[in-house]
Amino acid sequence: MHVSLDSALGRQRRLNSVGESVLQIASSAAAAYSLRSLTGGDPVVVRVRRSSNDAEQDFTSSGVSSGALVNFVNEIQTLGTVTNSSGNNGFTLTNTSSTGFTATTDTATGVCGWPYTAKAGDKITVSFDAVIRSGTPQFLPRRATALSSDNLASVVSDSPLSVNSTASYSFEFTYDDDQAGSLTFSEGDDNADFDISNFQVTVFKGAGLVETWYDQSGNSNDAVQATAGSQPKIVNAGSFLNELDFDGTDDNFELTSVLGMTSAGAIFSVAESGGGNDKLILDNRDSGVDGFRLMRFNNELQYRWQSATAATSTNPGTNTKFIAFANHDGSNASAAVNGATATTTSDTSSISVVAKPHIGARSFSSAANFWDGTINELIIYNSDQNANRSALQTNINSHYSIF
Amino acid sequence: MLYLIYASKEAAIERADEEGKELGFDYWIEDNGQGTRWLTYPNETADHMWALDVTNYDLDESEESSTVDHYTPLPDPDDD
């Protein structure tokens, strides 16, 4: 059944005022997640783990937009003094420092270098000056921080790179190995005598993964993913995405606590599907039909509440952002995309869910039906928000310019 | 992918905890109950064992000889 928004509301819609934040328009959110401020202040919005060394840091909305977050992810690690390989694999090494060394070998073996942790997809640019007196040394990354003659790291560009003449060098590598751990020089299968100076990592382009998406509602119902392999990306190969990218394989969050929704509720979200059919944006169920979920299914946005399904006639599409709206007012479940007229279905059931909701995956049994795409914003109410729909969507669309 | 199969979820998490500590994840450094704790988390198998993805784990010889390259996950209980 299709009804117009006005007739569905049957009352005056709330209009938003210039400058009002989402939570000033409708303050009673049960949980609210975004990278922008939904409060009007400068709340902590996200906790990010960087791929390089797994360090984590919280960021406010201004820290996200100012570039502090991406700078944290791309921070260049300090190099210690160059390390010689142990045993017969080492050079005769002198003049060692954090920027260079003099290496000789007359046994056609030798490895030395600097430990530097990086992960698959990370890009590193190094520069240095070389003076080659004899031999054809090579520069190459290795997997382990403990240097040895094997354990070559896998890199996208050709490896190893010959340093066969006196010159200044600059190389960029893209790692495709999660265990890459050292920036090294070797002898190049020949006797060698050479100097390296002014060695430095000039650019590091890493990945930023979201460990916590903080709740801005004031209810401290943060969305958390403590498993590194299941954290969505916010920075990829050094580039800030300005959204959370879920891989469709295992990325998802679990909320810290239950929502407590019973007979009414509403969801506003900004998302983008990467494809597929059965993809959960938000799931709050104890079993198959016990609770509610918001999902893209059969090229529709679907809001399923117990056994009722409100499916939009508008296809949210793939690879394009959309604003999702879902609402249950106690009598009807409704759903809409991009401000269109809501599709409504009659339903008077109530819910009582004890499982913690999941963003991007199923909330009961084991996580499954993963969201393959991005989510920018997710605002959840335990109450009917038909009256605030227009004002909230106007606020959201003003920020994201979706329709 | 390489998996170790455990009889209990607790045993699998114990191994995941060990790897998380070894990797120096934030949860184990800050001691405030916050931050990344595991590299991977176990999933229940069809025969109610627990499979832990250890592809990128530092395994000992005993563990290396016990890995399997696949497992059968729980049947999907969803209604779709």
Which of the residues A51, A54, A256, A295 would you substitute to probe the B interface, choosing the one with the greatest number of B C-beta atoms within 10 Å? A54
Contact of A317 with A300, CB cutoff 8 Å:
no
Q: CB–CB of A366 and B43 under 8 A?
A: yes
User: CB burial class (10 A; 0-12, 13-18, 19+) of residue A15?
Assistant: exposed
Reported as a pLDDT band with limits 50, 70 and 90, residue A52 is: confident
Instruction: Name the minimum distance, in Å, from the CA of B78 to any CA of chain A.
Output: 5
Q: What is the bridge-based pairing of β-strands B50-53 and B43-44?
A: antiparallel
DSSP character for B26? H
Percent of chain A with pLDDT over 70: 90
Instruction: Name the minimum distance, in Å, from the CA of B65 to any CA of chain A.
Output: 21
Q: What is the pLDDT of residue A5?
A: 45
Percent of chain B with pLDDT over 90: 80
Average pLDDT, chain A: 89
Helix, strand, coil percentages, rounded to 5, for chain A? 10, 45, 45
What's the whole-number mean pLDDT along residues A71-85? 93
Left (φ > 0), alpha (ψ -120 to 50) or beta: where does A295 sit? beta
Which of the residues B54, B78, B79 would you substitute to probe the A interface, choosing the one with the greatest number of A C-beta atoms within 10 Å? B78
Q: What is the pLDDT of residue A323?
A: 97
Contact of A111 with A149, CB cutoff 8 Å:
yes
Contact of A243 with A35, CB cutoff 8 Å:
yes
DSSP collapsed to 3 states, A269-315? EEEEECCCCCEEEEEEEEECCEEEEEEEECCEEEEEECCEEEECCCC
At residue A301, does pLDDT exceed 60?
Answer: yes
A249 interface with B at CB cutoff 8 Å:
no
What's the whole-number mean pLDDT along residues A305-330? 94
What residues of chain B lie within 8 A of the CB of A364, using their CB? 77
pLDDT tens-digit readout, A361-391: 999 988 889 999 999 999 999 999 999 999 9
Q: Which two tokens stand for residue A329?
A: 């007012």
Reported as a pLDDT band with limits 50, 70 and 90, residue B75 is: confident
Reported as a pLDDT band with limits 50, 70 and 90, residue A283 is: very high
What residues of chain A lie within 8 A of the CB of B74, using their CB? 365-366
Rounded to an integer, what distance in angstroms lies between the CA atom of residue A20 and that of residue B75?
A: 47
Contact of A305 with A373, CB cutoff 8 Å:
no
Q: What is the pLDDT of residue A158?
A: 44
CB-CB neighbours of A105 under 10 Å = 23
Q: CB–CB of B78 and A368 under 8 A?
A: yes
ipTM of model: 0.94
Q: CB–CB of A178 and B74 under 8 A?
A: no
Pick the closest to residue A36 from A380, A383, A378, A393 (CA basis): A378
Tally DSSP H helices, then E strands, for chain A: 5, 28
Q: What is the pLDDT of residue A122?
A: 87
Contact of A345 with A403, CB cutoff 8 Å:
no
* Closest by Cβ to B38, choosing from A228, A278, A364: A228
pLDDT tens-digit readout, A189-247: 889 999 999 999 999 999 999 999 999 999 999 999 999 999 999 999 999 999 999 99
A231 interface with B at CB cutoff 8 Å:
yes
At residue A252, does pLDDT exceed 50?
Answer: yes
What residues of chain B lie within 8 A of the CB of A229, using their CB? 39-41, 53
Q: Which residue has the tokens 């891989």?
A: A247
